[in-house]
Structure formats: structure tokens, C-alpha cells
């Protein structure tokens, strides 16, 4: 069974030859192969080569073609500062008032910013690996894009003022979210055409550690539902799947996650995987939730293997991919990552 088939079967609840190894390791793979982070963020060939080399080194089932999260905001006009072999930084927010927010227009992912580079990188990786691995693309959710464009503090203030009736920024907020959504739909569509197996909506700022469940349901969930509904026909056409990634302990909205339309929901290490499985109850597949800043980073390989086995034991009977509870630290020991992946490959199931 190929890696791509293994992932698709696991997500759909079909039989697989073994468990899926799916750590979130875009930047980690780049660093482990000696490639330059900044170059990979801007050059498709460099990104593709680094991810392919990382896959040959570790043999995971999902290749993550991603580095930073500013590629969509940059396409809208936000200024990004690139640093040598490091993650970029955002400069002054692009949007400072409602009028500027209402001037936003959806961007073409085939020509705007670095989105074309990511699309091309996916195409190149698909050429390199064929069906032997699934390819996970990138996609920043509307809430995060809005935070990048106007600054997190301003976004939170606009939400609070609108909800309390102090000042109405509702039109500006809805317009920002809508333009980001429209761009993401077209970006994800282009990734599917290029060969992505998994397209995602990653909205880390929409965590319940940041906003309330009611705010999530009012300002985030409707756009998630629209994205997954619009992308579903294309996923079916290309035999691909969709993923929702929101950081933090989102237990209060796990039921909403299960109903948003995503094929896969990522569970952060801050949340209980068993609670997530119980609440979601196989309405979608779960991925997670080994702590990337815990034993994976600072423990021994045998501890990592045990932690992975605990997750696999716990999730028997559920649609599940063994993954990390967020992105793998670039400082993670190679031996620990190999132990994580090897555990998925050799796991025989919990004794009855």
C-alpha cells in the first residue's frame, strides 16, 4: 500500500496495512536536510528538494509543503521581513481602519505573493514521490489572515467593540474574512490541481484559548463551513481530503469542528485526545496529538515510542492519524523523530 493510499484509507475509515505516521514537520524537514529556511520560503525548487530529501530521510506518510504562515497576508500587500535561515517577521500592519479593510480584494494564488511558489513546490514534490507519500499543502484561515493584516491587538479590539456595541466594525470584519476565504478557496483549488492530497484551513488564532466559543461560532465557524463545502467537490475529483488545524485546547468547540465539513481535524497537545475522540465519535478523522515541545523534543527515543503507542492504543476503533499536536520543533533530535515514525510503522495493536 502506498503512503498516499494509506492516508486516504485511514481518513475514510477503511482498512490499512499499518498505522499512519504523520508528524507536522515542514520546517523540521528543511533543517534536517541542511537546506536554508529563507530560501525554501521563497523558492519552489528549494522547498520541493528539501521536503523530498526529508521524506527520504524519515519515511513519514505525509510530506508537509509549508514553512511560514505569512504567504497569504503578503499576497494582500503586507510587508514581510526575511531573515537568513530563519522564520520571517511581519512589519507594520497593512490595515489600520475600517476603510482600508473594506478596500481589500481577493488575490489570485497563481500570481500574488509567494502562493505561486508553494503551488509549484507541491507540483514538484508530486513529480518526485508519485503515490508513495501524501502531500499536505498550506492554507491560512480567514481569522489568521485578518490578524496578520490588521494586527492581532486591533483585530481583538474590533471584535470586542463590535460585540459590546461600543463601535461597529462588523462590515469591515466580514469583508476581511470573506476576501481571505475567497483567496484560500482558490489557493487550495490550485494546490489540488498541482497534486496535493490534503488541503488545509489553518486558523491558529481562532483558538478557544484566544477567543470565546460564542465568538468562534459567530466569526470563524461560518467561514470554515463555507470553505470545506466549496472545496469538497474538488477533493472528490482529485481523490483528496481536507483538514482543519486550530491550535490550543478547543474542547468546547470539538462538536463544532466535527460538523464543519473537514475530513480531518487536528488535535493540539493542549487538549485531551481521548475527549476529542469521544466527542467527535468518528464523524471525521483526527490527527495528533504528541506534544512537540515535550518528550519528542527533550526525551529519549524509547519514551517517544511509548508515547506514540499510548496514542495508538487509545485511538483503536477511531479514524486516526498518528501526528504531533502542532509543528515539530526544528531542534528535535533526529533519533526521536525516527522513533515516532517507526512506532507507527511497527505498531501491532493493543493486546486484548
Q: Locate all alpha helices (DSSP H) within 13-141, ordered by sequence.
A: 26-32, 37-42, 44-58, 71-75, 98-102, 115-129
Q: Is the pLDDT of residue 351 over 80?
A: no
> Are 167 and 105 in contact, with CB atoms under 8 Å apart?
no
- 16: nearest Cα among 233, 259, 322: 322
Q: What is the pTM of this model?
A: 0.97
**Distance between CA atoms of residues 243 and 64, nearest Å:** 12
**Distance between CA atoms of residues 176 and 94, nearest Å:** 12
Q: In this structure, what are the phi and psi dihedrals at residue 201, rounded to the nearest 5 degrees?
A: -115, 105
Q: Give the gyration radius of the chain's Cα atoms.
A: 19
Residues 6+ apart with CB under 8 A from 164: none
Confidence grade of residue 343 (pLDDT, cut at 50, 70, 90): very high
pLDDT (average), residues 156-162: 98
pLDDT tens for 55-94 read 999 999 999 999 999 999 999 999 999 999 999 999 889 9
pLDDT tens for 126-143 read 999 999 999 999 999 999
- 117: nearest Cα among 186, 53, 47: 47
Q: In this structure, what are the phi and psi dihedrals at residue 256, rounded to the nearest 5 degrees?
A: -65, -40
Which SS3 state, helix, strand or coil, does residue 219 take? helix
Confidence grade of residue 257 (pLDDT, cut at 50, 70, 90): very high
Q: What is the pLDDT of residue 152?
A: 96
Q: What is the pLDDT of residue 220?
A: 99
Tally of residues, the chain: 352
Q: What is the pLDDT of residue 78?
A: 96
Q: What is the pLDDT of residue 123?
A: 99
Confidence grade of residue 322 (pLDDT, cut at 50, 70, 90): very high
**Distance between CA atoms of residues 224 and 264, nearest Å:** 13
**Distance between CA atoms of residues 305 and 321, nearest Å:** 15
Confidence grade of residue 349 (pLDDT, cut at 50, 70, 90): confident
> Are 311 and 267 in contact, with CB atoms under 8 Å apart?
no
Burial of residue 97 (number of CB atoms within 10 Å: 0-12, 13-18, 19+): exposed
Beta strand pairing status for 89-90 and 80-81?
A: antiparallel
Q: Which three cell numbers stand for residue 137?
A: 499543502
Confidence grade of residue 39 (pLDDT, cut at 50, 70, 90): very high
pLDDT tens for 260-290 read 999 999 999 999 999 999 999 999 999 999 9
Beta strand pairing status for 198-202 and 89-90?
A: unpaired
Q: What is the pLDDT of residue 352?
A: 44
pLDDT (average), residues 220-242: 99
Domains of the chain: 3-346 (3.20.20.210)
pLDDT (average), residues 253-258: 99
Cα dihedral angle (164, 165, 168, 171), rounded to 10 degrees?
70
Amino acid at each position: 500500500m502506498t503512503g498516499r493510499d494509506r492516508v486516504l484509507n485511514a481518513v475514510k475509515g477503511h482498512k490499512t496495512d499499518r498505522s499512519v505516521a504523520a508528524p507536522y514537520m515542514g520546517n523540521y524537514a528543511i533543517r534536517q536536510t541542511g537546506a536554508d529556511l529563507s530560501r525554501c520560503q521563497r523558492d519552489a525548487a528549494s522547498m520541493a528538494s528539501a521536503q523530498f530529501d526529508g521524506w527520504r530521510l524519515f519515511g513519514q506518510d505525509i510530506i508537509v509543503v509549508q514553512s511560514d504562515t505569512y504567504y497569504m497576508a503578503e499576497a494582500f500587500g503586507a510587508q514581510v521581513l526575511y531573515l537568513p535561515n530563519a522564520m520571517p517577521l511581519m512589519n507594520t500592519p497593512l490595515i489600520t481602519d475600517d476603510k482600508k479593510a473594506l478596500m481589500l480584494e481577493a488575490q489570485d494564488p497563481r500570481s500574488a505573493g509567494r502562493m505561486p511558489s508553494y503551488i509549484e513546490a507541491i507540483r514538484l514534490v508530486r513529480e518526485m514521490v508519485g503515490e508513495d507519500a501524501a502531500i499536505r499543502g498550506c492554507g491560512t484561515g480567514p481569522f489568521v489572515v485578518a490578524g496578520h493584516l490588521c494586527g492581532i491587538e486591533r483585530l481583538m479590539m474590533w471584535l470586542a467593540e463590535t460585540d459590546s456595541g461600543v463601535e461597529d466594525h462588523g462590515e469591515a470584519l466580514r469583508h476581511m474574512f470573506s476576501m481571505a476565504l475567497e483567496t484560500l478557496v482558490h489557493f487550495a483549488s490550485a494546490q489540488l490541481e498541482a497534486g496535493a492530497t490534503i488541503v488545509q484551513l489553518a486558523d491558529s488564532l481562532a483558538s478557544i484559548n484566544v477567543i470565546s466559543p460564542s465568538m468562534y461560532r459567530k466569526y470563524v465557524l461560518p467561514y470554515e463551513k463555507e470553505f470545506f463545502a466549496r472545496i469538497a467537490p474538488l477533493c472528490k475529483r482529485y481523490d483528496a481530503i481536507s483538514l482543519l488545524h486550530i491550535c490550543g485546547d478547543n474542547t468546547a468547540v470539538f462538536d463544532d469542528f466535527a460538523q464543519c465539513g473537514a475530513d480531518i481535524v487536528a488535535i493540539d497537545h493542549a487538549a485531551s485526545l481521548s475527549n476529542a475522540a469521544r466527542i467527535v465519535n468518528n464523524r471525521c478523522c483526527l490527527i495528533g496529538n504528541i506534544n512537540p515541545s515535550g518528550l519528542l523534543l527533550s526525551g529519549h527515543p524509547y519514551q517517544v515510542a511509548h508515547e506514540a503507542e499510548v496514542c495508538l492504543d487509545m485511538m483503536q476503533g477511531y479514524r486516526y492519524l498518528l501526528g504531533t499536536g502542532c509543528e515539530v520543533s526544528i531542534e528535535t533530535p533526529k533519533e526521536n523523530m525516527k522513533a515516532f515514525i517507526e512506532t507507527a510503522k511497527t505498531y501491532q495493536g493493543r493486546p486484548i
